[in-house]
Structure 1
Amino acid sequence: MNLRALARATSIVVAASSLAATGEPIVVASKNFTEAYILGEAVAQLLESEGFEVDRKIGLGGTKICYDALVAGDVDVYVEYTGTIAEAIKDIDGEPTRQKIADALAPDGVEMLGDFGFNNTYALAVPREVAEARGLASISDLPDHPDLRMAVSHEFLERPDGWPGLQQLYGISEVPAGIEHALAYEALEDGSIDLTDAYSTDGELKRYDLAVLADDRGFFPVYLAVPLVRVDLDVRAKTVLRRVAGTLDDAEMSDLNAAAVFGGQATESIARSYLVDEDLLGGNGGVDAVARDSLIVRLGSNTGRHLFLVAAAVIPATVVAVFLALGIFKLPWFARAAVYVA
């Protein structure tokens, strides 16, 4: 046997076994805005509470950057929105049902898990005192109040899924003024305008005490927050991440955003409070969550993991020993060298 080939084969086996034994961390990324920071951190902490090693890439970038990184294998999980998947990532025709989205993601090796529960879509917001004084509850009420001073963001004013389509569906004759989104909330507060566009989970909704008008004709697309994961992600990690499904509504997500934007709280702290409040993560670092799981399943999983680690250490050592024995048996000079070294 060629000793150079022997050494090369041995090094490959040892390296592969070492990699398998140590495992790779789960890479958790997020998009680059407050809500995404909170959800990304929640995902990371939840995985860590169950013993997974996590590599954070919070605030990685926009939709394209995060999704491309997921497909390329540089990221294992990040939180996306169903409306964004349907319109910006995959351009799904018709109603973007869960099955349609799943089918569109599958060729990329991507899987969508259960949504958090809230819908961060477009909304129309008015000061609560204005809504109560005028009896405004839904967008259908707007045609009866043509004197409302309306100003919406320039993008919303021009998008087909913004004001033009909304105006047509609801029969609103007025055309609002354009305004920078960052200035709209202050304009509502000082009474310069009565209505603007918003996102349904904006932290500003609570700070400025705004009422969101119900989209009673279902015009706005649904933007459910969902963890996107690689299909080949550890099935145990997927099981852990499925716990977040249905745990947040619009108002609760708005409160979390407000705590970050206006309360000055760190997103890491906000994420942990959410996990603890929803009983997803024990206040002692995840022990409560672990205790909820089936003891038999946990013991089986841990036993399998330990057996794997033992095998990963023993197998390469055995391979090396066999190759050394063959070398000593076949090559007298190698045997003499081995005895000398020993």
Structure 2
Amino acid sequence: MQTLRSGLLQALAAALGLLMLLAHLPAGAADDGPLRVGSKRFTESYILAEIFAQTAAPQLATAPAVRQGLGNTAIVYEALRSGAIDLYAEYTGTISAEILRGSPSMSLQAMNAQLAPLGLAASIPLGFNDGYALAMRASEAQRLGIRNLGDLAKHPTLKLGLSNEFIGRADGWRGVAAHYGLPQTPTGLDHGLAYDAIGAGQVDVIDIYTTDAKIGHLGLLVLQDDRAYFPRYDAVVLHRIDLPQRLPQAWAALQKLQGRIDEPAMIAMNARAELQGQAFDVIARDFLAGGAAQTTERPGFVDRLFGSDLGRLARQHLMLVAVSVGVATLIGVPLAVAVFPYVQLRAVVLGITGLMQTVPSLALLAVLISALGAIGTLPALIALTLYSLLPIMRNAVTGLADVSDGLKQAGTALGMTASQNLQLVQLPLALPTLIAGVRTATTIAIGTATIAAFIGAGGFGERIVTGLALNDKQLLLAGAVPAAALALFSEALFELLEYALRRRRRTPASRAPVRT
């Protein structure tokens, strides 16, 4: 028994050592440069992040790290507060109402007075207002006689498809509904997908950003805010307060962006990304060069699937899956073995690991970002490890339970200690079931790892997240297909492993080598 305990402690120590090593890994590429630029998960934020990075780059010895598509306001703001990024594009209405929970009409000076104790500041008004609004198909609005937000109250049966962030924001749907007395119950939709839904007539009203390129493209009518509910959402740079002192030359370059981007320019840049499929860095470079936008052919699916980023994304995805499942195995198997003899303790431990599976992945990632003060690789690996524990532990317990009492007693009759019985009888017989658990955990991890892109950990989810933001089905598939191929490849490997185990167990004793 002492040998068993020693083995369990060694396995747990190895797992903890690996986790400590991971704590020193860079969060994706976020720590690679002196300037780390973040973005939210919508077109305009992607473009502005590239503009910031390319503006500052000539003044830096190392290229800035751009962490695209980190998620909604809560995640990106937490990344800024924790120091995982240095700046990102934010909007005054969001800062005042959503971040500071203050008056929507708060001045920039008043905002900075409240941001300073948090180690943050808002600077460099970029020159355009990108406000929230609600929009309908113009033909439908004309048929119903709707021009203003107040008119929606006369049509309670209208279907509203609103972004989940807008539904939950302090300055979002709840405030609008109360301000205008709107009776509808909205359905949550991704912002990019909402344009497809309203174009297909599946919903009647969506929330939009006033610089969205698809408003005119789809012939939508932006409803007038006739009772002045929405504040202005002037684009600014939200940044760490020490950034101007830490990188004075780069900051001086960024200050030259003040007032340089007006609303038509921003709409045109959004259109190039959403309607022409142009890359964000190309759009930013053309804007900063001051030249005319170069119209190029939209890349096809094969070009996107085998793009230059395929190798990098594959390495990131494989690392996330291999390390998380490996750590989960090192933790889960010894823990399952340790609690197996104790029925009540075993039920409690498996219940806790099962409870982890019910926590939404984005919520868990947001909590980990706040707790660790980091984005990227480390929180993603911890989340994936937690999600991998249940199938590994449950299968380990099931495999041990399936070993008959007769075989256990036979080992004891041969003079085996409890530790030897476990190592030489029970674990070898439970091994196929245990491997099946690792197989299941690997498949789950390959799919769940795509969520890691929301916090800058890379992998094939990077394409999926960007495709969602742009409502670009080809880019979505270019991320989903390699992930599915990786899952099929892992299934084939485990099938070969299980076949080898089955063949080994069926080998007749007469074929075993005879010692003379």
Please report the TM-score for the alignment, with normalisation by the length of structure 2: 0.42
Range that drifts further, 111-120 or 159-168:
159-168
Aligned to 2:288: 275
Instruction: Name the SS for the 2:57 alignment partner.
Output: helix
Q: Tell me the distance in 2 between the aligned counterparts of 1:114 and 1:205.
A: 27
Query: After superposition, where does 1:136-285 map in structure 2 within 5 Å?
Result: 136-143=146-153, 146=155, 149-153=158-162, 155=164, 156=166, 161-172=171-182, 174-178=183-187, 180-181=189-190, 183-230=193-240, 231=242, 232-277=245-290
Q: Tell me the distance in 2 between the aligned counterparts of 1:192 and 1:65.
A: 30
User: What stretches of structure 2 of length at least 5 have no aligned partner?
Assistant: 1-31, 293-516
Aligned to 1:330: none
Higher relative contact order at CA 8 Å, sep ≥6: structure 1 or structure 2?
1
Q: Mark the CA change 1:266 to 1:183 in structure 2 (over 3 Å): closer, same or farther.
A: closer
Shift, 1:52, TM fit? 6.1
Judging by fraction of residues, say which structure has more strand.
Answer: 1
Matched, 1:41 2:50: yes
Shift, 1:210, TM fit? 1.7
Query: After superposition, where does 1:1-342 map in structure 2 within 5 Å?
Result: 26-33=34-41, 34-49=43-58, 53-59=62-68, 61-62=70-71, 63=73, 66-71=76-81, 73-92=83-102, 95-131=105-141, 136-143=146-153, 146=155, 149-153=158-162, 155=164, 156=166, 161-172=171-182, 174-178=183-187, 180-181=189-190, 183-230=193-240, 231=242, 232-277=245-290
Instruction: Name the SS for the 1:61 alignment partner.
Output: coil
Shift, 1:271, TM fit? 1.0
Letter in 1 for 2:36: V
Shift, 1:251, TM fit? 4.7
Letter in 1 for 2:179: L
Q: Mark the CA change 1:72 to 1:147 in structure 2 (over 3 Å): closer, same or farther.
A: closer
Q: Tell me the distance in 2 between the aligned counterparts of 1:86 and 1:179.
A: 24
Q: Tell me the distance in 1 between the aligned counterparts of 2:172 and 2:108.
A: 23
Letter in 1 for 2:115: L
Letter in 2 for 1:242: Q
Q: Mark the CA change 1:149 to 1:44 in structure 2 (over 3 Å): closer, same or farther.
A: same
Letter in 2 for 1:264: G
Instruction: Name the SS for the 1:80 alignment partner.
Output: strand
What does the per-residue CA deviation read over 1:215-255, in whole Å, with 9 as the maximum and x for residues that have no partner? 23221244332112333233333332122223334454333
Q: Mark the CA change 1:154 to 1:198 in structure 2 (over 3 Å): closer, same or farther.
A: closer
Q: Tell me the distance in 2 between the aligned counterparts of 1:278 and 1:31.
A: 25
Judging by fraction of residues, say which structure has more helix.
Answer: 2
Shift, 1:40, TM fit? 0.9
Q: Mark the CA change 1:48 to 1:57 in structure 2 (over 3 Å): closer, same or farther.
A: closer
Q: Tell me the distance in 2 between the aligned counterparts of 1:137 and 1:190.
A: 21
Instruction: Name the SS for the 1:83 alignment partner.
Output: helix
Shift, 1:148, TM fit? 7.5
User: What stretches of structure 1 of length at least 5 have no aligned partner?
Assistant: 1-23, 280-342
What does the per-residue CA deviation read over 1:128-181, in whole Å, with 9 as the maximum and x for residues that have no partner? 3445566654324445x6388342327455766434432332344x42552534
Q: Tell me the distance in 2 between the aligned counterparts of 1:146 and 1:32.
A: 33
What does the per-residue CA deviation read over 1:94-150, in whole Å, with 9 as the maximum and x for residues that have no partner? 64321121112222333321222333332111123445566654324445x638834
Letter in 2 for 1:169: H
What does the per-residue CA deviation read over 1:60-113, in whole Å, with 9 as the maximum and x for residues that have no partner? 724455445545555433222333333444333564321121112222333321
Q: Mark the CA change 1:139 to 1:248 in structure 2 (over 3 Å): closer, same or farther.
A: farther
Q: Tell me the distance in 1 between the aligned counterparts of 2:59 and 2:222.
A: 38
Please say if residues 102 and 112 of structure 1, whose CA atoms lie closer than 8 Å, have aligned partners that are also in contact: yes
Shift, 1:39, TM fit? 0.6
Q: Tell me the distance in 2 between the aligned counterparts of 1:256 and 1:195.
A: 25
Q: Tell me the distance in 1 between the aligned counterparts of 2:96 and 2:185.
A: 28
Q: Tell me the distance in 1 between the aligned counterparts of 2:268 and 2:124.
A: 21
Aligned alpha-carbon RMSD (Å): 3.4
Shift, 1:213, TM fit? 1.8
Q: Tell me the distance in 2 between the aligned counterparts of 1:124 and 1:81.
A: 18
Q: Tell me the distance in 1 between the aligned counterparts of 2:178 and 2:132.
A: 16
Q: Tell me the distance in 2 between the aligned counterparts of 1:49 and 1:134.
A: 54
Please say if residues 149 and 176 of structure 1, whose CA atoms lie closer than 8 Å, have aligned partners that are also in contact: no
Instruction: Name the SS for the 1:255 alignment partner.
Output: helix
Q: Tell me the distance in 2 between the aligned counterparts of 1:236 and 1:191.
A: 51
Letter in 2 for 1:255: A
